[in-house]
Amino acid sequence: MSTTTSPLDQRASPPLWLLTELTYRCPLHCAFCYNPVDFASHGAELDTDTWRDVITQARGLGAAQIGFSGGEPLVRDDLETLVAHARGLGFYTNLITSGVGLNEQRIAALKEAGLDHIQLSFQDSTRELNDFVSSTKTFDLKHRVARLIKAHGYPMVLNCVLHRYNLPHVAQIIDMALEMGADYLELANTQYYGWAMLNREQLMPTSEQLQEAEAMVNRYRERVGDRCRILFVVPDYFESRPKACMNGWGSVFLGIAPDGTALPCHAARSLPGLSLPRVQDTALADIWYHSHAFNAFRGDDWMREPCRSCDERGADHGGCRCQAYLLTGDAAAADPVCAKSAHHEQIEQVVTLARRPARDGACDTQAQPLIFRSRENSLRLG
Ligand code: SF4
Ligand code: SF4
Q: Cα(65)–Cα(2) distance, rounded to whole angstroms? A: 27
Strands 184-189 and 157-162: parallel
The closest-lying atom of ligand 2 relative to the alpha carbon of residue 319 is 7
What spacing in Å lies between the alpha carbon of 316 and ligand 2's midpoint? 7
Mean pLDDT of 235-253: 93
pLDDT of residue 367: 56
**Predicted local distance difference test score (pLDDT) of residue 126:** 95
pLDDT tens across 187-201, in order? 999 999 999 999 999
* Per-residue confidence (pLDDT) for residue 173, from 0 to 100: 97
Q: Where are the domains of the chain?
A: 17-238
**Cβ atoms of residues 189 and 205 within 8 Å:** yes
Q: Is 168 in the pocket of ligand 2 (CB under 6 A)?
A: no
Q: What is the pLDDT of residue 235?
A: 87
Q: Residue 323: nearest ligand to its CA?
A: 2
Mean pLDDT of 348-353: 90
Ligand nearest to the CA of 314: 2
Answer yes or no: is 265 a known binding residue.
Answer: no
CA 250-263-88 angle, to 5 degrees, is 85
Q: Is 365 exposed, middle or buried (0-12, 13-18, 19+ CB in 10 A)?
A: middle
Which protein residue has the closest C-alpha to ligand 2 atom 6? 338
* Residue 247 Ramachandran class (φ > 0 left, ψ -120 to 50 alpha, else beta): left
Q: In what order do the strands lie in the sheet with 17-21?
A: 229-233, 184-189, 157-162, 117-122, 92-97, 65-69, 17-21, 253-256, 262-263
Given a cut of 90, is residue 8 above it in pLDDT?
no
Q: Is the CB of 248 under 6 A from ligand 2?
A: no
Mean pLDDT of the chain: 92
CA of 212 to the centre of ligand 1 (A): 27
Q: Ligand 2 atom 2: the closest Cα is on which residue? A: 307
Ligand with smallest separation from the Cα of 193: 1
Instruction: Indicate the pLDDT class of residue 382, thresholds 50, 70 and 90.
Output: confident
Cα–Cα distance measured from residue 162 to residue 291, given in angstroms and rounded to the nearest whole number: 36
CB distance 264 to 293 below 8 Å = yes
Q: Give me the mean pLDDT over the 202-220 stretch.
A: 95
**Mean pLDDT over residues 50-73, rounded?**
98
Q: Show Cβ contacts of residue 5 under 8 Å, excluding neighbours closer than 6 positions.
A: 290
Give 111-140 pLDDT, tens digit per residue: 999 999 999 999 999 999 999 999 999 999
* Amino acid present at 259: D
Q: Is 26 annotated in some ligand binding site?
A: yes
Residue 10 has pLDDT above 60, yes or no: no
- Contact between residue 258 and residue 266 where contact means Cβ atoms under 8 Å apart: no
Q: Is the pLDDT of residue 297 over 70?
A: yes
The pLDDT value given to residue 7: 45
Q: Given CATH 3.30.750.24, say whether it is the number of domain 17-238.
A: no
User: Annotation-wise, does 363 bind a ligand?
Assistant: no
| 300 to 210, 244, 305, 316, 321: CA distances (angstroms) | 33, 13, 11, 11, 12
Question: 19, 190 in Cβ contact below 8 A?
Answer: no
Closest to 8 in 3D by CA, of 270, 290, 227: 290
The answer to whether the CB of 306 is under 6 A from ligand 2 is yes
Q: Which ligand sits closest to the CA of 319?
A: 2
Angstrom distance (rounded) from CA 94 to CA 117: 5
Give one word for 90, left, alpha or beta, with left for phi > 0 and alpha for psi -120 to 50: left
Which residue's C-alpha comes closest to atom 8 of ligand 2? 318
Instruction: Tell me the best of 22, 25, 35, 199 to mutate to test the pocket of ligand 1, counting ligand atoms within 8 Å of each CB and taking the most.
Output: 35
Q: Is the CB of 335 under 6 A from ligand 2?
A: yes
Residue closest by Cα to atom 3 of ligand 2: 313
Does pLDDT of 361 surpass 90?
Answer: no
pLDDT value at position 6? 45
Centroid of ligand 2 to alpha carbon of 268 (angstroms) = 20
DSSP letter, residue 142:
H
